[in-house]
Amino acid sequence: MELKLLAPEQHMLLLSHTVDLSLAGALVRANREIPVGARVRVSLYREDPYYPLQLEAEVVRVADGDAQRFPGLGLRFGSMTDADRTLLGEMIARRANIELESLEILP
């Protein structure tokens, strides 16, 4: 999924894609390093590019690239509204082509 990641403390804006996405967080392709613990704002793009889902997150892992994987950042999403959680669940379900009811959406 296409996204924009803003890391204000590092003065960095990164346009990238998710490698993995869940209700708890994401693994994002990144060719630049952002330190573990950094707070970032993630904008996930859906059908309407003018209204992305915007979530707060924390960098919890920096994944080095190797012959098998792309370099990336492991993100853990912060607190979300119920509406944001539902929208994210719908986005994941649509991408995975599964029924929304099969996703466990926890508060």
Residue 29's CATH number: 2.40.10.220
| Residue 104 maps to a domain | no
Examine residue 107 and state whether it is found in any structural domain, yes or no: no
Full domain range(s) for residue 95: 2-99
Residue 72 in domain: yes
**3-state SS assignment for residue 79:** coil
78-94: average pLDDT = 91
Q: Which residues contact 75 (CB under 8 A, 6 or more apart)?
A: 25, 26, 27, 28, 40, 42, 57, 58, 59, 60
Whether residue 19 lies inside any domain: the answer is yes
- The answer to which of 17-21, 89-93, 96-100 has the lowest mean pLDDT is 96-100
Whether 102 shows a pLDDT value over 80: the answer reads no
Rounded distance between C-alpha atoms, residue 37 and residue 45, angstroms? 24
Domain count for the chain, please give it: 1
pLDDT(47) > 90:
no
65 within some domain:
yes
Looking at residue 42, its pLDDT comes to: 96
- Specify if 25 maps to a domain: yes
